[in-house]
Structure 1
Amino acid sequence: MTKTAFEPAPPTENDEIVVRTVKPRRNRRATLITIVTIAFLGLLAAVFGPGIFTPSTGADPATSMTAEQIIPLVVLVIMFIVATKWPVNIGVMGLVAAFGIGYFMLGMSDKEILADFPASIVLTIIGVTYFFSMAQHNGTIDIIVRNCVLLVRGKTMLLPWVFFLVAAALTSLGTFSPAAVALLAPAAIGFAYESRINPLLMGAFIINGAHAGGFSPLSVSGVLVHDIALENGFPISPIALFVASFVINLILSVLTVAVFALLGKIREGDGVANSDLDDTRSTRPRGQQIYTLLLIGAMLVCALGFGLPIGFVALSAGLLLALLNIKDQHKFVAGISWSTVLLVAGMITYVSLLTHVGVIDTLAHKALALGAPILIALVLCYVIGVGSAFASSTALLAAFIPLAGPLLSVSSLSATGTVAAIAIAATVVDVSPFSTAGALVVANVKEIHRQRVYRQLMMYAGAVVLVAPALAWALLVPTGFM
């Protein structure tokens, strides 16, 4: 009987996840990035009009851009292009740019520049990633995965849905989406080969599942979106955001299965279709694993039941768990997603500077001048969706969500529905092989299949970019459900 060994990836997060995958030709990638960049800027130009930098005579001063607004905006565009082309943390660029523009051009002090530094969000990232690095290290995550897989022994077509739900559970509890994919991909792709399930289908389900739980009230992304909306004056429902993300990613998964079935691509390979998917290791939690599961339950009660800040709760749980592993402290601290801390802190600080000089309000008024707010929301979903396929979803969320403020203030659109549509459009496109999650799927398929899976994932990501933003907009914005 063939056995599939579970070997979860290291507990690294986001940009810290190192994968080995197929490298496309440099000229092909450079050409594609250039085309996407031009299309992205062209779409922005179409939205905001040619008069954005040179307003016509008699234009409303409130919607005219000054040099103090143009320069920071141009710097922001350059930052996104640089971060797309080279592996430079855009958060670091954001902090440096905030200092350079704020201190030398606007005459702001360092305290004024850092007035909106997102301390609570940074604490949440540190606390959650600190705790879950220990949960992965002591085997608790592996136990959860193997117990879930045992539930479908002999029913191989349920495996993609099992991994969808496990990924959603992990991210809803606080694990970053790329980290959840890194933990699950080796086992999931191994089971896919053993059960003759298309590895691309399995990979898509893992990524969709990770995004399904990615906006829970306990997750970093959920806290990030909620706090940005709150700071910009349009509070949203954290539970509704989570439900919207889960439902839309569930719908995308159903559509994915339907399309693969129509194309006859669900089954693939020469594995044993009715394999028992046996694993000789125990699936019963022991010692620290039981302790970790109890701490996860306590975190849920404290955060959801009593409304305690998840950052402090996760740090407290992490400290209790760390006291049992004094010798491995350096591993747990290394598991904190420092790259994401820098990214979020830098981008929110820089976007706060843009708000201070009026860039966000001016761009929003330019967009509102186009007409129907409901169509503007659709354009925003597509702009952030296309951009997120090649740039950081978190960075784009920090830049685009504030644009919804003026749009919501002059319309009857639901704040939760509009923000949820924008947030979901930014994340569902992470199936792209240029993203960490997509690259992890390619990295875990067999060597002889990687080039083919890479091409198929490119086509699948293109379809998602075309469909997902419109789906999120159609279900959440015009309907007013939320």
Structure 2
Amino acid sequence: MSPQLISIAVLAAIFLIGTLRSINLGALAFVAAFVVGTWVFEDHSPEILAGFPANLFVILVGVTLLFAMAKSNGTVDWLVQWAVRAVRGRVAAIPWVMFAVSAALVALGAVSPAAVAIIAPIGMAFALRYHINPLMMGLMVVHGSAAGNFSPLGVLGVITNGVVERSDIPGSPTFLFLSNAVFNLALAAVIYFALGGVALIRQGKRATEEPVNEEDPTATGNATSSAGSVGVATRTKPAVQTLTLNRDRTITVLGMVGLAVGSLVFDLDVGLMAMTVAVVLALASPETAKDALGQVSWGVVLLICGIVTYVGVLEAIGTVDYLGTTIAAVSAPLLAALIVCAIGAIVSAFASTTGILGALIPLAVPLLGTGSIGAVGLVAALSISASVVDSSPFSTNGALVVANSPKDKQDTVYRQLMIWGFSLVLIAPLLSWTVLVCMGGW
């Protein structure tokens, strides 16, 4: 077996072991980079670690630290309250509020699982209280977070645009973000109207903040614990008082605005800016910052840095060129593009979307070199295919939806998510490939 095939087999083993044994893929990837680089290609540590993404590490730590502090000081809860008040408490609009808030959090830099972990319990509390289909609410949160995935400030956007730039592929961060957002918005519309949205509109109910009667059968302990401070009625205690903008929340909101302006207008480093805002918050309120460092998504940081480091080893030893040339050798370039998108969707349904994108986008370089495929369209199609399947119950986002569903409906939600997730495995690559690669010509 050639060294390139050995490195590919190791990459497949990484995803298989990580899926079956719940071991962090990043840790496995670091071990793989060490083993493959040292014993197969006889590289030394400096060469093996040359692909470590230091800039990406700073971005991930800075952004997740900032959002951990925003969650601790109540800024995230304030944003949700503000969004609900903006629709005047209309129950029919609440699923869309959850969609929009999830999208905004991820677009501003929160990792998608973190946003779902924050918003899903709140959304499920609303679903329980106002008899909204829990599957609808969960999917609106998941696809809301997916809609914000490829923002220039978002983690996946930073990763994907960085890989595109390093691979010398023509890219368009704006097109990538908007095409993914439109795709998920369309999915959300299908979800809403297929799972009870019309009935909610006809009922015309409004959200209230009065305590639920002790005998109310719809009120449960789950609603109490997950409602947080958004004014959702519960059985065991009255609704929490409406949050207002205090000093810490004001600083956080201004910091988020400054992060967006500095990154988009002045092209300042996202990670260093996020770290700066987090430090300012820590100086202003040390008690809030005390536990925030422990809430940084270190697992995500390890996963992404490990995968990118191993992909760097693959690039250095020629495996990426070998695979890309093999795919490009497929007689029909359009078919080769569809194969790449399908691989991304299938593997991402079980494994890490970030890891898959970091590994697959470089493989498309030789295919794009033929000139038969538009680079911008293929990158967008691959990104959409690999990210929308995060609603699978085997992914982190899907699992969070199941975990936060009412206990008597968890089995049902699990089965329905499995059907939905694996339907997208088939539909998303074909649809995105048709629109963005075949018809688009971008």
Answer yes or no: same fold by TM over 0.5. Answer: yes
User: Where do 5+ consecutive residues of structure 1 fail to align?
Assistant: 1-65
Equivalent runs, 1:188-227 vs 2, <5 Å? 188-227=123-162
Tell me if structure 1 keeps the 8 A contact 2:73–2:288.
no
Partner of 1:342: 302
Tell me if structure 2 keeps the 8 A contact 1:198–1:266.
no
Structure with the larger RCO, 1 or 2 (CA within 8 Å, 6+ apart): 1
Matched, 1:452 2:412: yes
Return the offset for 1:256: 2.2
Aligned counterpart for 1:181 among listed residues 116, 128, 135: 116
Partner of 2:286: 326
Matched, 1:365 2:325: yes
Identity across the alignment (%): 40
The Cα RMSD (Å) is 1.8
Distance, in Å, in 1 between the alignment partners of 2:339 and 2:40 is 32
Aligned counterpart for 1:255 among listed residues 165, 185, 190: 190
Distance, in Å, in 2 between the alignment partners of 1:359 and 1:388 is 21
- The one-letter code sitting in structure 2 at the alignment partner of 1:386 is I
User: TM-score, normalised to structure 1's length?
Assistant: 0.82
Partner of 1:160: 95
Return the offset for 1:332: 1.5
Return the offset for 1:255: 2.3
User: Where do 5+ consecutive residues of structure 2 fail to align?
Assistant: 210-230, 232-239
- The one-letter code sitting in structure 2 at the alignment partner of 1:304 is L
Tell me if structure 1 keeps the 8 A contact 2:169–2:365.
yes
Partner of 1:433: 393
Return the offset for 1:470: 1.7
Tell me if structure 1 keeps the 8 A contact 2:248–2:285.
no
Tell me if structure 2 keeps the 8 A contact 1:122–1:345.
yes
Equivalent runs, 1:101-180 vs 2, <5 Å? 101-180=36-115
Q: 1:170 to 1:468 in 2, by over 3 A?
A: same
Return the offset for 1:273: 6.7
Return the offset for 1:71: 1.3
Distance, in Å, in 1 between the alignment partners of 2:257 and 2:412 is 42
Matched, 1:85 2:16: no
- The one-letter code sitting in structure 1 at the alignment partner of 2:207 is D
Distance, in Å, in 1 between the alignment partners of 2:431 and 2:123 is 27
Tell me if structure 2 keeps the 8 A contact 1:181–1:207.
yes
Could you tell which deviates more after superposition, 134-143 or 70-79? 70-79
Tell me if structure 2 keeps the 8 A contact 1:442–1:454.
yes
Equivalent runs, 1:368-407 vs 2, <5 Å? 368-407=328-367
- The one-letter code sitting in structure 2 at the alignment partner of 1:319 is V
Distance, in Å, in 2 between the alignment partners of 1:93 and 1:204 is 30
- The one-letter code sitting in structure 1 at the alignment partner of 2:393 is P
Return the offset for 1:231: 0.9
Distance, in Å, in 1 between the alignment partners of 2:192 and 2:207 is 23
User: TM-score, normalised to structure 2's length?
Assistant: 0.89
- The one-letter code sitting in structure 1 at the alignment partner of 2:423 is A
Distance, in Å, in 2 between the alignment partners of 1:412 and 1:455 is 40
Return the offset for 1:330: 4.1
Return the offset for 1:87: 1.2
Distance, in Å, in 2 between the alignment partners of 1:299 and 1:275 is 35
Return the offset for 1:480: 3.1
Return the offset for 1:444: 1.4
Partner of 1:95: 30
